[in-house]
Structure 1
Amino acid sequence: MTAILTDRDPCAFGERNSGGRSPVLFISDHHRNRVPASLKNLGLTEEELARHIGYDIGIAWIAEYLSDRFDAPLVHTNYSRLVIDCNRVPGTPDASPAVADGTRVPGNEDLSEAELDSRRTELFEPYHSAIRARMDVMEADGRNPVIVALHSFTPMMKDRGTPRPWEIGIIWNEDDRLARPVIETLRQNEHLTIGDNEPYSGRDGGFSLYAHPEARGHPHIGVEFRQDLVASEEDAHKWAEVFGNALEIAVSSLTL
């Protein structure tokens, strides 16, 4: 099996504030749009990788703000979702797509089982191992981790041109301990349109929340920020603050 990562590449994942004392753990599955040097940008231009197909626009700024505000650990991916999507089951068509939102991805065409396995073992598994390890540490020192998965979404519905009105969407499956108070608090602002399992539903798939907090019974949500609202650092921090205010109230109610 040929190695993907070389000494020119950073680690598969990154961490921020690993010693943070908050019960909250932030995770970011689509944090960067980097491609390992050996994969030669998957045959794409830098402009294409900078689109939403390459990563979740604005989320790095949001994640850093929230990690610092809450004194909370953050675990994030270091490579583009196009290399391997760490919120998908490895080996499925969406995990390393040959076409992403209408864009051909030459470096993902006709991948062998060995190539797919290299991406899984070098990028996917280390990231998820880091999440498990951080949760283990938090549990060991008496914290019940509260997991928040950070994402962003396009302002128009894929392939339909339908506007998405939500500024923020809260994603959840069966456990509403965190989702319900966050949604209720955000909706107290009558100027906001807050999605409840919109623009995506926590009941329709994904990987990270199922594999980690749901498997262990910990409170959790996914949060989606609309990308046109968070495309600059200043705006990303603004919307991170809006969400952070609601999250702070919700976490306090869980603690009580």
Structure 2
Amino acid sequence: MPSWVSGLPETKDYVGVGQAGSSEGPEQQIRAAEDWARGSLAAGISVKIHEQLVQNICEGSCTAEEQSKILLKAESKTKHTLKGVDIKERWLDRGSCMVWVLATLSRDKVELRRAMMFNLSPPSIEMAGLLVGHLEKMLREDFAVVAADARLEGCATDSATPTCQDRANTIFGAITVSLEKEPMDGQFRQRNFRVKGSLRFQDRLLSSFDVPCKARAEARADAQTIDRAAAEDCRKKVQATMKKDLEMMD
């Protein structure tokens, strides 16, 4: 019996363990165990994301309305984060016919994929300033962008599909934030990110950006503190690129 069945392994990664009985066929049993493992892992991530959003958006004190919005945002953010989950191991307990699954998500694999939508009615380039304002606010919230309907995520890169064309007055956007490296020299700690994204309206690419950004602090500083400073650097660079692209369309 693997050690992780009786107790979670000691690791810096997020971990989830799931199990399922033999009430259904083998494939369904394995799938059910994997779903339980992902759910277990998601529970821990959701708590962390919720705490982070409360701190970033409300500075620790939220109204009932803000709490409701944060719960929805945390749920959406968790679902997107779970796309990076790996099913590490599966084990069949032949005595009980139980299937056990170990799922992990690397904390170092900081890649947050977010999709966003902005409804324009009627569509007008005069809305560009408002659009930049929305993005600025979202980027300030530690990249916690409210996700679009999952069926529409691909519209930011390919708006020709029927589902995307049904949203005639919508600007689609996508943003990817990735941690590239984290050098440390003993006295200072630096986290380097790259932000890539685009905005698309119907068959027109409105803006495209690919910018590096970073933040540096004393070695004892936690990652969250450094990331807040990096987010500000990213926000400024992304905003400048988008504003330039949108102004060129006037």
Q: Do both share a fold (TM > 0.5)?
A: no
Q: Which structure has the higher relative contact order (CA within 8 Å, separation 6+)? A: 1
Which of the two has greater helix per residue? 2
TM-score between the two structures when normalised by the length of structure 1:
0.30
Which structure features the higher share of strand residues?
2
